[in-house]
Amino acid sequence: MQYARLSKEQFEELHQEFINFLASQSITAAEWKDIKTNKPHVAEEELDIFSDLVWERVLTNAAYLEHVSPNQMHLFALQEDKMSLIAIKVDEPDIDITTKEGYQWLQDNLGNDKVVFLSASKEYGEKPNVDKFTLIQQGAHITQGDLFKWFSRFVEVK
């Protein structure tokens, strides 16, 4: 398994896609039931393969990632050959930018010495989707890139 197994909720959401996946392998509903009962290791392998296929598709289509913590924001634009980063750090201990008030403070104080902007870019390793997945495992979320686009007006994106 290259990524992580989908959760029960994710499998339920993708129920029809999983049926199609099994059908593409000529596995009927009755055969799947038998596999789950009599060959649980095979069933586990099928779940893992399907999970990897879903993750591969999701990661290939992802264009932006965001990771926001109380005093930092890491915004990633995922290009074909590299990822670009806009990092914002707030050196004000009473400000939590994960709250509405804290984020408003950040927007109102972009020129404040307590707000630090950085940008960088990094070429992907051998497997770009693994690099993206690693960021997700560290707490990043796939987004439409609204924050990246907004903050890119204030920092040169590399």
Mean pLDDT for the stretch of residues 85-94? 95
90 confidence band (pLDDT: 50, 70, 90): very high
Element (H, E) at 37: helix 29-38
Domain boundaries, the chain: 8-61, 64-151
Considering the chain, what percentage of its residues have pLDDT values greater than 90? 94
Coil, strand or helix: which one is 59? Answer: helix
User: DSSP labels for 104-138?
Assistant: HHHHHTTTSTTEEEEEEEEE--S-HHHHHHHHHHT
156 confidence band (pLDDT: 50, 70, 90): confident
